[in-house]
Structure 1
């Protein structure tokens, strides 16, 4: 009897096992966050599903054998992997998706002032997400851009570390920085627009290389950088990110989303950075890195309205106390001639907003205002400046048949005043503008964009800036773009040239400066490849040419004791080739490499010279691998810069006229094994490279920063003496890279969705 019962139980359990369905289940996630509504299916079958709001999926009714499972969703690289199952088996397979910095389905707004998918934009726009920024964590977007091909953060002074952004070799004043599409930072405040916005509140960074003045007006001559902040649906409930480095740098980002009633929410972000270590590894008695204490508070209000009309208001307050100089400097020496120091107090506030009018037509009112107050001393020379920029813009987006039209009118208010001799009275001007843009669908695969902008500046009269763009979508995976356009820039000298403020050289303005004009051509080819095994490859290549007229250039060479400014009597040309290649493999390996070859030079009186502080070639890379079982990611990032011409003090200066080829390389390890937490750490500047290699010194006459022991002839030129055999004067402007050597870092991130 017992044998019969045992046999019956065995038959029953066998029946249950045979009746049990073969199932594959798991979660879909990216960077530790669940991805809802991703498509998951078995290739070659009718079995498929989508992940729920928590990223969970379940595939059932699967036959025994080996299958290829595929997962995809817009904005991420498709996942593909083989999996073997036996009859009645329940198998767990978690899927990790990787965002692609080059994904064609990303939405962009910068190229045309309209939200379109990147593949449909006639203007090539590069897009970088916070995930990209995390590969080499930095205290500001300014530093993070060192890993973007064709974009280089340039340090302009060895003492106070003031810097700007170069795009395709063009100086910082040619780059316009925007926040949510508003040209809120320019001139005096360009770098400050790239500092102090927590990464947790950044949706993406869009970069356009080449003139965009037909939409954005002055300063968008060489390119623009648009920082897009998150909306309330995409922002985390709470986010904190803190890290420290071996040099004693401390940075903290805190972000939160706060609901105020049913129809209003607030995004709050706070960034704090502190560095107060006296480090002098190159032994010149000057700080290698400026000491800084800064705080930035960002707040964005989003209001829900009928028919999803837009209403948002954002503001930011920024304060920084920064100084560099001789190691014995203290605030009591500020502005004196006993101990040299460069001390900068910066107070800045900004407000910007968007309001969609309550009418059937798509009409948007955008506005911004910023006030920038700077109290600086460079040795014993004070520089007190106040800049205010107000901007308002009304746009009407209208589709008529094959024409996608955009009409706009803008007004810009500029106020600038400082205590230098170049600004005897405050510079105050109102610049009204109108513009029109028409994107024409010529055929299914062809579109043409035409644009024209008119600005009136009382100082320079009427200014017209046309542009055109042609897009040929050869296939869904091949896009060819040809862009041509013009740009203009109205110059305020002292807001842009820090070297004029160091006190090291006299500034000479030889004539009234006329506005610069530029003409640009850009040919872009974008290719994406999806392999059967889930491998993704993207190629983005461009050829560019920009010709400047009335270029305003600082002349360091005619007189080593002066910086001479005038409009170039000739031509200035920037031309070159640029390419990015992005590989993503289903096993977790990622590889992104970019390279730019450029020729940036001025021709005057038949003589061609390379532009100063401009490299002839550059490369960037990002190699990453994720050990899924260990929940550990490794990222190796770096850049390479070719030789650039440097501002030496004449033929007797023993410092090299050209920089060597140099590279900054970093490695980072990130662990995501705890829910909501990320732990990361690594080493920056693995090669321990600093610009003092191969040079007897970096700062000229660092032992005599006030030139008290320098003798001059009747023309103001330094005379060689036993104490000064090379006839030099104090000069901290010989700089092309950071002075920070190798250092470790460690950080923690915490996020609540």
Structure 2
């Protein structure tokens, strides 16, 4: 019995030891550093297991209860290269492992698609393309991509109305209609939506923004005369599982971006994003009786699907819906006054949907079909003037890529249909029998283009392109282009030369908000002819990387554009009219732009840029500077990260030289030119564990607004319906004691945002 008992206890003891041995676990601990400095809040993954931890603020980490075996540790941290380490754990109870992370070299060779309509190395592209990632825009968070673009050199969001604060995008001094806006390469934002369509694109879904300055009409059509902005959304493969970015300002603005992705089967992934913006606090700090900033209530929903990730069977489809209710006007305005003539307000209801996608045919050849469609419904009133408009656009494009020896060929066929209808003279006719008659516009635009990228030598490339379009309203359009690129053997020096032709059909009421707002009468001297242009630029890029890891990038461009038949609105002949006609002469946009990009190992990064330009027209031998065009603009984005405490400081801003502004007559007391002005911002961002960032700061540090230094911004704001204005027989304003300057109500004297200094606070959370 004793023997049995003894054996029993022996067996139990043996099993205990065996169990202890088999369940022996180890604690892995150590420190994550970079160049001797701790890396705070790095993520440590034990691949193939559920062991995932995050380092503390000092870079220290600890993974407990890891069973014996061989493992691969992966360490990642924002701003550093991912690092993996193979380890073998035996029967130790404490395993020490310090890991050194490397800061990545400055990305000088991003992949771009906008220049040649295919994914190529940025350095290999014969067309100069500027790339701005989502991290760039986070240095100065904004509720819409329209406002965010103000940090890009040579790109300026232009506010066109003091009342409803709508605007467009200027590239190198050219007005908004000369800039094409793409989403994932599709011409989504154009025509009617060029004024309102840039709001509500969820920034949480933006992977990068590519900017091409200069003619891109050969590949993208007639709207890309001055350049294009391609907003590229995140792929479902690299988007986080869930992310949220919410911030508010001391003015009462609230903006929220929420996105996430999920799988629906083995080969299908979906990306969803929601943007919500709300501002409902009327403010009149310049004391003119009108709101300084429009009140807005906006929601935008985005959904993108990838059905097959294999390269030769790509199929993706995306959709976006946006609704916005905005108004600006007299402080006492409410919805009951909408469309009336007692209290002035500008109220815009926007309903918009978009659908776009791409399908790579399952063939040996690289054949891609892309498609898009969008509908835009605008119900708006400007005082007592209604503007009701609908626009529907359908677009399809088939491209074929083929490499034959040294020739990289791209051949494409496109078709675009545009339906447009509104309640203005643009879509109406008049006959003596029936009187006024509605006549919606139906425009068909089939096209064909071919591009040959010829590699003359490893250091020399030549790009030849030609596009043929047939506009059902205006006939044949032919747009050629030529690009040449040279790079040094180490590819740290690149020279590009570009020449191209542009062509644009104008639609005044969809593109020029000034034609609707205020009390001016719109006059067409004759039927507007399409504009044509020739553009040339020379681009030089140099990259300098020192032994201690310092990176300096230099990007300089000389540009020149010559226009025929340019359409320039005339605000000055008659204070009560806007006169549209083709220029009987020519117009020029020319200048120099320079970008400097600096990155130091100590965490300091800076991007500084400046543009000198001269934009003018010549008619009957008289040279005149273009309205709303500055001679110089400068931007900067300077950031410094204190890695020990996970704190980043960002200082961003821009500065503009004077620009010529529209006056209402020789007696108008306002200055002909704006002053020098600058918007500057400061932000602090603190990084915490689990993908959390808290950020805050001050926008418009100098509290600059255009109302400073001028007697008024909005002419005759006390009489917005011109009830007290007298006119003579020729339509000119009569000077009276109540109207000593001979003015009418007009909100077009605007060149910058009316919003002064304000604080902001936000939080981001990203879960991978």
Query: Which residue of the partner structure matches residue 461 of structure 2?
Result: 447
Q: Which one of 135, 139, 144 corresponds to residue 143 of structure 2?
A: 139
In 1, Cα distance between equivalents of 2:81 and 2:255: 36
Any stretches of 5+ residues in structure 1 without a counterpart?
A: 1-22, 37-50, 58-69, 75-88
In 2, Cα distance between equivalents of 1:381 and 1:478: 56
In 2, Cα distance between equivalents of 1:644 and 1:543: 21
Query: Which residue of the partner structure matches residue 164 of structure 1?
Result: 168
- SS of structure 1 residue aligned to 2:696: strand
- SS of structure 2 residue aligned to 1:189: helix
Provide the alpha-carbon RMSD of the alignment. 2.2
Query: Which residue of the partner structure matches residue 545 of structure 1?
Result: 560
Question: Residue 358 of structure 1: CA displacement?
Answer: 1.0
Question: Residue 673 of structure 1: CA displacement?
Answer: 2.4
Is 2:456 aligned against 1:433?
no
Question: Residue 693 of structure 1: CA displacement?
Answer: 1.0
Query: Which residue of the partner structure matches residue 695 of structure 1?
Result: 710
Question: Residue 230 of structure 1: CA displacement?
Answer: 1.1
Query: Which residue of the partner structure matches residue 720 of structure 2?
Result: 705
> 1:699, 1:730 within 8 Å by CA — same for their partners in 2?
yes
Query: Which residue of the partner structure matches residue 462 of structure 1?
Result: 476
Question: Residue 90 of structure 1: CA displacement?
Answer: 7.5
Query: Which residue of the partner structure matches residue 338 of structure 2?
Result: 334
Is 2:75 aligned against 1:55?
yes
In 1, Cα distance between equivalents of 2:483 and 2:216: 12
Q: Which one of 644, 662, 675 corresponds to residue 659 of structure 2?
A: 644
In 2, Cα distance between equivalents of 1:30 and 1:645: 51
Question: Residue 674 of structure 1: CA displacement?
Answer: 2.5
Query: Which residue of the partner structure matches residue 258 of structure 1?
Result: 262
Is 2:177 aligned against 1:173?
yes
Question: Residue 683 of structure 1: CA displacement?
Answer: 0.1
In 2, Cα distance between equivalents of 1:642 and 1:380: 36
Q: Within 5 A, what are the aligned runs for 1:291-310?
A: 291-304=295-308, 306-310=310-314
- SS of structure 1 residue aligned to 2:744: coil
Q: What TM-score do the two structures reach when normalised by structure 1?
A: 0.89
Q: Which one of 385, 404, 408 corresponds to residue 389 of structure 2?
A: 385
> 2:32, 2:39 within 8 Å by CA — same for their partners in 1?
no
Q: Which one of 507, 516, 525 corresponds to residue 531 of structure 2?
A: 516
In 1, Cα distance between equivalents of 2:504 and 2:727: 38
Query: Which residue of the partner structure matches residue 278 of structure 1?
Result: 282
**Change over 3 Å in CA distance of 1:53–1:592 after alignment to 2:** farther
Query: Which residue of the partner structure matches residue 525 of structure 1?
Result: 540
Question: Residue 93 of structure 1: CA displacement?
Answer: 6.1
Query: Which residue of the partner structure matches residue 227 of structure 1?
Result: 231
In 2, Cα distance between equivalents of 1:520 and 1:286: 42
In 1, Cα distance between equivalents of 2:555 and 2:498: 15
Larger Rg: 2
Query: Which residue of the partner structure matches residue 343 of structure 1?
Result: 347
In 2, Cα distance between equivalents of 1:305 and 1:659: 53
In 2, Cα distance between equivalents of 1:307 and 1:161: 44
In 2, Cα distance between equivalents of 1:752 and 1:199: 16
Q: What TM-score do the two structures reach when normalised by structure 2?
A: 0.87
- SS of structure 2 residue aligned to 1:143: helix
Query: Which residue of the partner structure matches residue 89 of structure 2?
Result: none
- SS of structure 2 residue aligned to 1:145: helix
In 1, Cα distance between equivalents of 2:363 and 2:331: 62
- SS of structure 1 residue aligned to 2:669: coil
**Change over 3 Å in CA distance of 1:200–1:32 after alignment to 2:** farther
Question: Residue 461 of structure 1: CA displacement?
Answer: 1.3
Question: Residue 560 of structure 1: CA displacement?
Answer: 1.8
Is 2:188 aligned against 1:184?
yes
In 2, Cα distance between equivalents of 1:612 and 1:306: 51
Query: Which residue of the partner structure matches residue 81 of structure 1?
Result: none
- SS of structure 2 residue aligned to 1:459: coil
> 1:518, 1:546 within 8 Å by CA — same for their partners in 2?
yes
**Change over 3 Å in CA distance of 1:694–1:277 after alignment to 2:** same
Query: Which residue of the partner structure matches residue 51 of structure 2?
Result: none
In 1, Cα distance between equivalents of 2:421 and 2:39: 49
In 2, Cα distance between equivalents of 1:388 and 1:31: 51
In 2, Cα distance between equivalents of 1:552 and 1:30: 56
**Change over 3 Å in CA distance of 1:727–1:131 after alignment to 2:** same
Is 2:724 aligned against 1:720?
no
Is 2:403 aligned against 1:399?
yes
In 2, Cα distance between equivalents of 1:210 and 1:34: 43
- SS of structure 2 residue aligned to 1:568: coil
**Change over 3 Å in CA distance of 1:305–1:248 after alignment to 2:** closer
- SS of structure 2 residue aligned to 1:415: strand
In 1, Cα distance between equivalents of 2:420 and 2:105: 42
Query: Which residue of the partner structure matches residue 590 of structure 2?
Result: 575
**Change over 3 Å in CA distance of 1:306–1:204 after alignment to 2:** closer
Deviations 1:567-587 (A, max 9, x none): 111111000000100111000
Query: Which residue of the partner structure matches residue 17 of structure 1?
Result: none
> 2:367, 2:401 within 8 Å by CA — same for their partners in 1?
yes
In 2, Cα distance between equivalents of 1:323 and 1:660: 28
> 1:670, 1:680 within 8 Å by CA — same for their partners in 2?
yes
Deviations 1:299-326 (A, max 9, x none): 0000115554210000000000000000
Query: Which residue of the partner structure matches residue 634 of structure 1?
Result: 649
Question: Residue 261 of structure 1: CA displacement?
Answer: 1.1
Query: Which residue of the partner structure matches residue 742 of structure 1?
Result: 757
Query: Which residue of the partner structure matches residue 86 of structure 1?
Result: none
In 2, Cα distance between equivalents of 1:725 and 1:341: 25
- SS of structure 2 residue aligned to 1:612: coil
Question: Residue 33 of structure 1: CA displacement?
Answer: 7.4
Question: Residue 712 of structure 1: CA displacement?
Answer: 1.1
Is 2:122 aligned against 1:115?
no
Query: Which residue of the partner structure matches residue 435 of structure 2?
Result: none
Is 2:392 aligned against 1:372?
no
Q: Within 5 A, what are the aligned runs for 1:91-130?
A: 92=98, 95=101, 97=103, 103-130=107-134
> 1:664, 1:687 within 8 Å by CA — same for their partners in 2?
yes
In 2, Cα distance between equivalents of 1:35 and 1:423: 63
Is 2:575 aligned against 1:560?
yes
Query: Which residue of the partner structure matches residue 502 of structure 2?
Result: 487
